[in-house]
Structure 1
């Protein structure tokens, strides 16, 4: 009886924490819920992947996986701080029609296109977790980026609601700014709870387009992934990749996705792309359908008809069990089979598509 009461007590406590602690976000209601329920990508009470998708292969050996995850063998985290470049605010506000990109680690990017500055999946917390004291910790950088280091942006783009893409503390700070938010269906509820005014939020379903200006548009497109910030709300909000189009350049921001035939469909419909920013990291043989291997990343870029690929979703957090530099090394090894340029800028480096893309192996000195 005592054990039963203890278990019930713990369940109630867990429920209250998830319900009341703000970083877990909020469930969509009223108008947002109505839009979700009308989506062709929503059925049986949840969003559906574009193809049938298992979250993992068979029975994942939990204790073996945890032992591997907690191990720092095989260079799974950098042994010294990664040398990153300071953010040059003034560079983003110079009068120039050049399109420029600055990767800040993982999936956070500053993208300047036709004079407008877009910030993707801004995550600056040390841990990607609902709690600041729990969860995997960010790799040590020579300079810790913060929202205060960034120039003023014209749009914040959120791909999905996982903690390594939607950061409560960063959003709270952005609530004091003026930039609008663009995201996928359902995520606006989280943003509103964290102080973003409803009129600043636009939610899109796959195939819908938002016009930032009469030259710059962003279209939500399918991805093979999932969503959820709590124990019971998986698939309750939509996840998306994004086509970013300007007057002369077209980019693809893939965010998180397993490989699927839809990349070829997207390439035929929206391509070719000047560059595709695709996940390259946090893959595992235990979950091969929701994250791509580096070789699949390259195939996805080819399917998209991309001239170049910028590997993202690596070099900041250990969210899987591979060595931290393995993703980019495998991608470069596979690139010999495809005529696609691999851009490897240093973290914090600004580069343009009108110049030769950066291709230095900056991570090599971090592991020697």
Structure 2
């Protein structure tokens, strides 16, 4: 009961303010004739160089991966504001910092962990539509994906598929998948992506769980924010480090922090707590600087 009151109090403090900001911002955009999403396109030039494994954090849960020359993009959210669309208005949260990129390389695969607005952003996906791009998403979320992609695959828990030589397996994290109050049937996934020379875990959103114990990975991508007061659905940094140690993982890329004001903890608290939790192993934390590429 105490936890439920804390969650309700957190929402009451923040959401009316965000709603007011959303309306004011949408009116300003309408007066200027501006669009609601960040301008971003897909490059038509040469593909990126072939890497064993490279990763670039693009804010929140979006990570651009290069596995042996194949590009994988996780939970892309490039809009300036996320939330419910009402005509030209978007009622929701605004990015704390501008998107650090304006053009993406050709994308082979997009992974969508679940349908929450901060992970499945339809305006962003519409800008990334390409017949050469495939999308893997959670159960009962396919209809939310814009049309025009080469293929959209709903991948249930404990199932796997192969995309251009990559094996992608879906796992069950500790979270939930509803986009609204009326669609709690929607799924929510973590993914293990296995390339020829490296394996990556993209945990998506999860509370503390032993689901990842024994999952080998060269790179583990975990969310470290939105735990105060949402600890029942989002692990805190110390819990993330414990899950990472149990895998075992070689390197940890932290996401889901300092991009949107989803919870009550200060923007930079998750990273500082994670570094303290890692102690002498903090060098295994990689890719935490926005738009900086890490290579294995």
- Which protein is bigger by CA-based radius of gyration? 1
RMSD: 2.8
SS state of the match for residue 234, structure 2?
coil
* Distance in 2 between residues matched to 1:90 and 1:352, nearest whole Å: 23
Aligned to 2:90: 133
Query: Could you say which structure has the greater relative contact order, defined with CA pairs below 8 angstroms and 6 or more residues apart?
Result: 1
**Per the alignment, do residues 128 and 160 of structure 1 end up closer, same or farther by CA in structure 2, a change over 3 Å counting?**
same
User: Scaled by the length of structure 1, what TM-score is found?
Assistant: 0.67
* Per-residue deviation, 1:136: 1.5
Aligned to 1:124: 78
Matches within 5 A, 1:159-238: 159-191=113-145, 194-196=146-148, 200-214=151-165, 216-234=166-184, 236-238=185-187
Aligned to 2:250: 307
* Per-residue deviation, 1:58: 3.4
Structure 2 residues without counterparts, runs of 5 or longer = 19-39
**Per the alignment, do residues 308 and 205 of structure 1 end up closer, same or farther by CA in structure 2, a change over 3 Å counting?**
same
User: Structure 1, residues 108-128: CA drift from partner, whole Å, max 9, x if none?
Assistant: 011010211011111111122
Give structure 1 regions of 4+ aligned residues with deviation exceeding 4 angstroms: 68-72, 86-92, 337-340
Verify the 8 A CA contact 2:61 2:74 in the aligned structure 1: yes
Aligned to 2:12: 66
User: Scaled by the length of structure 2, what TM-score is found?
Assistant: 0.83
* Distance in 2 between residues matched to 1:61 and 1:182, nearest whole Å: 31
Matches within 5 A, 1:1-368: 57-60=3-6, 62-63=8-9, 65-67=11-13, 93-131=47-85, 132-141=89-98, 145-146=101-102, 149-191=103-145, 194-196=146-148, 200-214=151-165, 216-234=166-184, 236-264=185-213, 267=214, 270-271=215-216, 273-284=217-228, 286-336=229-279, 341-353=284-296
* Distance in 2 between residues matched to 1:92 and 1:279, nearest whole Å: 32
* Per-residue deviation, 1:238: 0.9
* Distance in 1 between residues matched to 2:174 and 2:126, nearest whole Å: 28
Deviates more, 1:174-183 or 1:224-233: 174-183
Structure 1 residues without counterparts, runs of 5 or longer = 1-53, 73-85, 354-368
* Per-residue deviation, 1:314: 1.0
Verify the 8 A CA contact 2:52 2:197 in the aligned structure 1: no
SS state of the match for residue 136, structure 1?
strand
**Per the alignment, do residues 337 and 107 of structure 1 end up closer, same or farther by CA in structure 2, a change over 3 Å counting?**
same
* Distance in 2 between residues matched to 1:313 and 1:177, nearest whole Å: 29
SS state of the match for residue 309, structure 1?
strand
SS state of the match for residue 59, structure 1?
helix
Verify the 8 A CA contact 1:298 1:331 in the aligned structure 2: yes
